[in-house]
Amino acid sequence: MNANLKKVIRYFLVLSLTLVLLYLAFRKIDWNEFAKELKSCNYWWIFAAMMTGFVDTLARGFRWRLMLLPIDPKLKRIDCYNAYAVCYLANLAFTRSGEVVRCGMITDNSKVSFKDAMGS
């Protein structure tokens, strides 16, 4: 099997699993009630919560970059932010798996070894 076919199969499997899990998570929701509640909510608080989450992830990524700068002085802020954002997503699937994913992502995008990333 060539590499492109393996990629396509992997993406198809991940997409299928995602759709199944989304269906299981949202199958019992009354969408009319959801729409009614969404119309009556204060959007300012939703925006404030989203911005707080974004700034929190950004700050954590930047702080982690400061810890890793002695190892790789060319480490990019965006790579650290992305690693932290994906870390949070992975933690939704399996507890503490995000730490491993975060270290793996930063290892792929920099000169930081997995051991050094995990130690930080």
Residue 94 is predicted with a pLDDT of 83
Residue 47 is predicted with a pLDDT of 96
- Whether the predicted model's global pTM rises above the 0.75 cut: no
Question: Are 83 and 93 in contact, with CB atoms under 8 Å apart?
Answer: no
The whole-number mean pLDDT for each consecutive block of 10 residues of the chain, a chain of 120 residues, reads 82 89 92 92 94 96 94 92 92 87 90 89
Residue 76 is predicted with a pLDDT of 92
